[in-house]
DNA sequence: TCAATCTTGATTAGATAGGTCAGGTATGTT
DNA sequence: AACATACCTGACCTATCTAATCAAGATTGA
């Protein structure tokens, strides 16, 4: 139901590594692979997805490498997750629709809203944790997401 | 990352059906299969898991069937999910551990707490939605889960 | 007894996740 | 210019998991 896949885990670690790098110094994929013990080719693949999402910049050729596109405080875990994990919050209807075009419980019962709301909660949670906080864990995130529970369904 | 699988979706629908049944009337697996358009044998399998979790009771033989073990207001979606979805919140460490026994980011950075907290978050959310509310969607759940955000990491 | 119905556990087909591979393109250094 | 370094692209493979099926049995009501 809730599962942190390897690509999400690795992407987060790579981003933390880059964030920890002094000023705008670059790190090569090779080096990151060694540091995090993630398969070399897989690192490439993940970094490309992060680059296409605009989270990292690359420089090719000798002495090339990667660096963050934004300040760590402006990069959320939510963006990282969405960059590498295409179908993060999978739609529920119309998967498993009860025969016809719409869910058999589409009116009169509240199953769907429960899943939808759960998805929104998870998404908002992740959008409220920044890379900067991962470097300084003591900051905490909970204070900033309290507002999520202010609205009624 | 977050995915409502068929077993969770079906189990929830079946439980809602049973909850909607007047007093303690039973419904056969056959009937539920037809009502929800879920494969007959699959309904069996799911109902057994719900039974072993103590959420439904069964009566065998002719005129047999299933009914809820508890009042709808005392059955949470969390319990349903845990009943049918064995590894709901999968551990992250030590999957993908960076080579040695412990995660390379095990101290000094806050990756793991983010996932752990997310898991707790989802779990608590689901534990605060009851079957009774699914029958009367207007009640809403958000008010009751506000406290989840009171504690700091 | 017989039919309805739950019970158990094994098995299978398809999808997905995780990782690999082969080739290409750009850039710094000599 | 040549070469090594390093990013770039997309196809490919494979083990695991999900969803569903199947087969055989055990209870119970009429």
Q: What string of DSSP letters covers A97-142? A: --SSSS-TTTTTS-HHHHHHHHHHHHHHHHTT-BHHHHHSGGG-SH
Classify residue A56 by its DSSP letter. E
Instruction: State how far the Cα of B135 lies from the Cα of B142, in Å rounded to an integer.
Output: 16
pLDDT of B147 reads 47
Q: What is the pLDDT of residues A125-136, one digit of tens each?
A: 999 999 999 987
Average pLDDT, chain A: 84
Q: Which residue is nearest to nucleotide C29 (CA to C1')?
A: A62
Q: Which residue is nearest to nucleotide C2 (CA to C1')?
A: B62
Instruction: Select the residue of A114, A119, A148 nearest B2 (Cβ to Cβ).
Output: A119
Contact B88 A129 (CB under 8 A): no
Mean pLDDT of A70-87: 94
Chain B residue at shortest CA distance from A115:
B4
Q: Give the minimum alpha-carbon distance from A64 to chain B in angstroms, rounded to a whole number.
A: 25
CA of A112 to C1' of C18 (A): 31
Q: Give the minimum alpha-carbon distance from A57 to chain B in angstroms, rounded to a whole number.
A: 22
pLDDT above 80 for A32:
yes
CA of B40 to C1' of D23 (A): 15
Pairing of strands B56-59, B65-68: antiparallel
Phi, psi angles (nearest 5°) of residue B91: -65, 145
By C1' distance from the Cα of A62, the closest nucleotide is D5
pLDDT of B73 reads 96
Scanning residues 116 through 135 of protein chain B, those with a beta carbon under 7 Å from any atom of strand D turn out to be: none
As a whole-number percent, the residues of chain A with pLDDT over 90 amount to 65
Contact A152 B140 (CB under 8 A): yes
Q: Which domains does chain A have, with CATH numbers?
A: 6-149 (1.10.10.10)
Are the beta carbons of B83 and B55 closer than 8 angstroms? yes
Residue B141: closest CA among A62, A14, A110: A110
pLDDT of B150 reads 41
What angle in degrees, to the nearest 10, is found between the helix axes of B77-84 and B6-20?
130
pTM above 0.85, yes or no: yes
Are the beta carbons of B84 and B7 closer than 8 angstroms? yes
pLDDT of A105 reads 57
Residue B47: closest CA among B56, B36, B34: B56
Mean pLDDT of A69-96: 84
Mean pLDDT of A58-77: 97
**R_g over Cα of chain B:** 19
Contact A143 B125 (CB under 8 A): no
Q: Give the minimum alpha-carbon distance from B37 to chain A in angstroms, rounded to a whole number.
A: 5
More confident residue, A15 or A95: A15
pLDDT of A86 reads 80
Q: Which residue is nearest to nucleotide D29 (CA to C1')?
A: B62
Instruction: State how far the Cα of A6 lies from the Cα of A80, in Å rounded to an integer.
Output: 13
CA of A108 to C1' of C19 (A): 45
Listed as ranges, residues in chain B with pLDDT below 50 are 99-101, 142-143, 146-147, 149-153
Contact B4 A137 (CB under 8 A): no
Mean pLDDT of A90-97: 61
Cβ of B2 near strand D (distance < 7 A): no
Chain A residue at shortest CA distance from B137:
A110
Phi, psi angles (nearest 5°) of residue A67: -150, 165
End-to-end CA distance of chain A: 22
pLDDT of A100 reads 45
Bridge partners (DSSP) listed for residue B99: none
Instruction: Name A2's Cβ contacts closer than 8 Å, sequence gap at least 6.
Output: A122, B1, B2, B88, B89, B90, B118, B119, B122
């Amino acid at each position: 139901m809730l599962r942190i896949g390897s690509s999400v885990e690795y992407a987060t670690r790579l981003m933390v590594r880059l964030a920890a790098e002094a000023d705008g110094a670059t790190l090569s994929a090779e080096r990151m692979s060694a540091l995090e013990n993630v398969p070399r080719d897989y690192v490439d693949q993940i970094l490309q997805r992060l680059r296409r999402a605009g989270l990292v910049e690359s420089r090719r050729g000798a002495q090339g490498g990667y660096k963050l596109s934004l300040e760590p405080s402006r990069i959320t875990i939510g963006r990282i997750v969405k960059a590498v994990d295409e179908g993060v919050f999978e739609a529920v209807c119309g998967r498993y629709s009860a025969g016809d075009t719409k869910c058999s419980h589409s009116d009169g019962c509240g199953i769907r809203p429960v899943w939808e709301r759960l998805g929104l909660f998870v998404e908002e949670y992740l959008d409220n944790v920044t890379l900067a906080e991962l470097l300084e864990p003591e900051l905490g995130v909970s204070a900033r997401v309290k507002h999520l529970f202010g609205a009624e369904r």
